[in-house]
Structure 1
């Protein structure tokens, strides 16, 4: 099984500190496959905000994006191809916002919904101790934070770990 898939974005800054735009996105499937893209800023974002604090967290500079970033249209097309018919989940609603910003820049509607990971976990009846255990295992296997590629992988590891266990929170 390759789905569901987990998505994570890094951004120029957090929205509460200004008008942010996506700079990196990663998608990881629970089968272990993953993709990550650096996003070259769209001309539409030219005057949007950039946070030195955010750059210090994720380590992605404007120069790196100008040199290695891919055009937003290409990133979106490759995201669609990689996800195929997977349901996508994120651990924060900001990821859906940054998908919308990316899509707006290329004048296309969002190609898929991003669902909240907590709903996925809750619907399946996993207990808090099971989720904590799964997250601890995922952090052990993917300890780096604030890199979209690592954050998405960690979430996929956590979900795979949970799916390999029987839920305990629902009575049968």
Structure 2
């Protein structure tokens, strides 16, 4: 994705700043997510490479969320009760980077919240989570780092938000990202067009009540919708 600061400067006047020596507006500088063109940027405004990189990083923090990375997340859980807790979290970025983590049950999470029907759906036993899961604090730290500056979408933000709350509360870590409703992406799409996209996404990346297949399904929906625009 390429972002032209000139396109967003009108809505974000703080982006229209000038270098004291050259007087050139940096709103005219094209910023790439990969941060590759440091040399081109430096030559354009008279900065050194190091100064250019520092300025790009500063400006990137000011960019609107639409100009930053998108990530689709999903959680599987012990059940749907008020004391349920997360067992797996998975995510995929718009660029295709995908990962999932099994979560080791925290000492504060009760056995009574374990639902056999939920286990039958996702296929994750408590014994497997105890053996292969990652402790809650490490999962929270990984999520905060991975989602830094990202626009995070969930197709069930109420439930996923609750399970993130349970996770971060147990770990004693502050959650540094918020969730957006995935279906807001499609709110202006005609129903027949949305039905067709859902059908194609079901063929391309069917849901499976596991984190990775479900986030890949979300990304397929997003990609198909984007292709329509």
TM range (shorter): 0.7 to 0.9
Q: 1:66 aligns with which of 130, 144, 153?
A: 130
Aligned to 2:227: 164
Task: State the SS of the aligned residue for 1:44.
Answer: coil
Say which is worse superposed, 130-139 or 56-65, in terms of deviation. 130-139
The one of 160, 166, 172 equivalent to 1:101 is: 166
SS at match of 1:164: helix
Q: Does 1:5 align with 2:5?
A: no
1:85 matches 2:149: yes
8 Å contact kept, 1:30–1:157: no
SS at match of 1:40: coil
CA deviation profile, 1:35-77 (whole Å, cap 9, x unmatched): 1000001111144510110000000000110111001111111
Aligned length: 162
Report SS of the residue matched to 2:88. Answer: strand
**Aligned residues: CA RMSD:** 1.7
**TM-score (normalizing by structure 1):** 0.87
Q: Which has the higher contact order (CA 8 A, sep 6+)?
A: 1
Task: Could you list the structure 1 runs, at least 4 aligned residues long, displaced by more than 3 angstroms after superposition.
Answer: none
* Alignment of 1:135 onto 2:188: no
After TM superposition, the score normalised by the length of structure 2 is 0.66
Tell me how far apart the structure 1 counterparts of residues 148 and 221 of structure 2 sit (CA, whole Å): 21
**C-alpha separation in 2, matches of 1:136 and 1:32:** 21
Deviation at 1:147, TM superposition (A): 0.5
| Unaligned segments of structure 2, at least 5 residues | 2-67
